Structure 1
Amino acid sequence: MTTLPTAVLPIFTAAGWFVGRKVPLTPAVPTGHPVAAILSEFGGLNVGELGPGIECARSDIVFGWFPHEAYEEISEIGDLLETDLAYLAEAHNGHQSLYLDREGRVFDVSPVAPGIRLVGRSFGEAMERILLGRKGSPLLLPSLDKVYWYGEVLLRGNPQILGIEDLRKG
């Protein structure tokens, strides 16, 4: 069973989740990756809703295996961190794609808000941020000089940016 923060348990329960829930997975889901256990427990659920949140808009999350191959940023992050990222869900009415790495960190990519963000260092932290409307951390890939963050352009060196080295340290 995946641990969920108390603050989001009612949101998951309202979406149909219950302790011990298990759904079959498509054979495409990588069985040796932590995403398999999460999708087995939450696959098919549409959790949360769009609206005002604590720091930013809160979002919905639709769990399922429908990866988008178009995001080069995800491949670059995986290579830089020496980890595999697997598709987890779509969020914000389908405008964000969520990916889970082998360490359990959740990243999001969106064509609407270019760039990649660390949403949570754990699945539970990411769910709380997304469903309650708390900001994640913008990442700046080594190949870029700036990142767009809630209407601002943040340049390399800005303390709001999470660097790859910070992620490598844990």
Structure 2
Amino acid sequence: MVLPESVRPLFLAAGWFPGRRAWFTRTAGLRRLASYSRGAALVREFGGLHVGLSGPGRERPASDVQFYRWPTAACRDAVADQESPGADLFPLGLAHRGHMEFFVDAQGRLLVDSIPDGRLLTAGETFEDGIECLLLGRSWPETR
């Protein structure tokens, strides 16, 4: 994974380093998802990290992100009926002090479930774009 230079310092401060491989063996019903290979790779690299801070951002509030150490199929319950057919959202973690949950889909997009209102939003067309939007408070693409 090549992190955008704009967020790399935040990941380094959280304990990430190039070549990091978190132990990820518990798949708990996620292996069947079309997004499994993308999601598992992200959890192996970033699992357990708490990156950034919630607060003022560039264009909207910035969010902290906390990657799951061992995501499970139960983490998908809130979005299973909202996802597009074939999207197979893979749960990556929580954001904005736990008020949002974020996912990667089979196409590699980063999506966010706004827990208070249950809206499923596209934060970025790629993980890299979406993580910049979350951590830096950049505007997101259109709402799904």
TM-score normalised to structure 1 length: 0.73
> For 1:137-167, what per-residue CA distance to the aligned partner results, in whole angstroms no more than 9, with x for missing partners?
211xxxxxxxxxxxxxxxxxxxxxxxxxxxx
Q: Give the match's secondary structure for 1:130.
A: helix
Q: For residues 119-158 of structure 1, what are the structure 2 equivalents within 5 Å?
A: 119-136=123-140, 137-139=142-144
1:11 Cα offset (Å): 0.6
- Residue-pair matches, total: 135
Q: Give the match's secondary structure for 2:97.
A: coil
Structure 1 residues without counterparts, runs of 5 or longer: 140-170
TM-score normalised to structure 2 length: 0.85
Q: Give the match's secondary structure for 2:64.
A: strand
2:75 aligned to 68, 73, 77, which one?
68
In structure 2, relative to structure 1, the CA distance for the partners of 1:69 and 1:102 (3 Å cut) is closer
In structure 2, relative to structure 1, the CA distance for the partners of 1:26 and 1:94 (3 Å cut) is farther
Deviates more, 1:42-51 or 1:20-29: 20-29
Distance in 2 between residues matched to 1:130 and 1:101, nearest whole Å: 16
In structure 2, relative to structure 1, the CA distance for the partners of 1:78 and 1:26 (3 Å cut) is farther
> For 1:103-162, what per-residue CA distance to the aligned partner results, in whole angstroms no more than 9, with x for missing partners?
1101101222441110011111011100000122211xxxxxxxxxxxxxxxxxxxxxxx
Distance in 1 between residues matched to 2:24 and 2:13, nearest whole Å: 22
Q: Which amino acid aligns with 1:9?
A: R
In structure 2, relative to structure 1, the CA distance for the partners of 1:85 and 1:130 (3 Å cut) is same
Structure 2 residues without counterparts, runs of 5 or longer: none
Whichever of the two has the greater Rg, that structure is 1
Alignment RMSD (CA, Å): 1.7
Counterpart residue number, 1:12: 11
The structure showing larger relative contact order (alpha-carbon pairs under 8 Å, at least 6 residues apart) is: 2
Percent of pairs identical after alignment?
35
Please identify which structure carries the higher helix content: 1
Runs of 4+ more than 4 Å apart: none
Please identify which structure carries the higher strand content: 1
CA contact (8 A) 1:105 1:123 kept: yes
